[in-house]
Amino acid sequence: MCIFCKIVNGEIPNKTLLEDDDFLAFEDINPSRKIHALVIPKQHISSFDVMPPKVMGEMTAFIQKLASKLEIKDSGYRVISNIGEHGGQEVKHLHFHILAGEYVGKLVSN
């Protein structure tokens, strides 16, 4: 079982920010910005590249809700998904990085 599936089933603890039946948002263990959340589907999907468009739609609404909860809607934030080897994807369970809390706009950094 992959590391994020273990987070979903509670085998590995996490700092949950928002949760519903289908998605989980939690703090990245090694934050690269003041706010660094990860958003995952509870169902194992290996990457953005194989995500059904319906899931993308539902995740969009979930991320918007997370942004409200984190109070970053006005200041702004960045959403990133790393895909495959050249994309730098380390965990093979679809996730979006939500970066915020300071200026996070440089594409060259994480």
Which residues are known to be catalytic?
95
* 67 contact, one of ligand 5GP, Zn ion, none, CB 5-8 Å limit per kind: none
DSSP 50: G
Q: How many CA atoms lie within 13 A of 1 on its CB side?
A: 12
Dist. CA 48–CA 17, nearest whole Å = 21
Q: Which of 105, 78, 96 is nearest to 39 (CA)?
A: 96
- By CB under 5 A, the residues from 34 to 53 that bind Zn ion are 44
Which range touches ligand 5GP (CB under 6 A), out of 39-47, 66-74, 86-94, 98-106? Answer: 86-94
Task: Give the residues lining the site for ligand 5GP (CB under 6 A).
Answer: 3, 12, 14, 26-30, 38, 82, 88-91
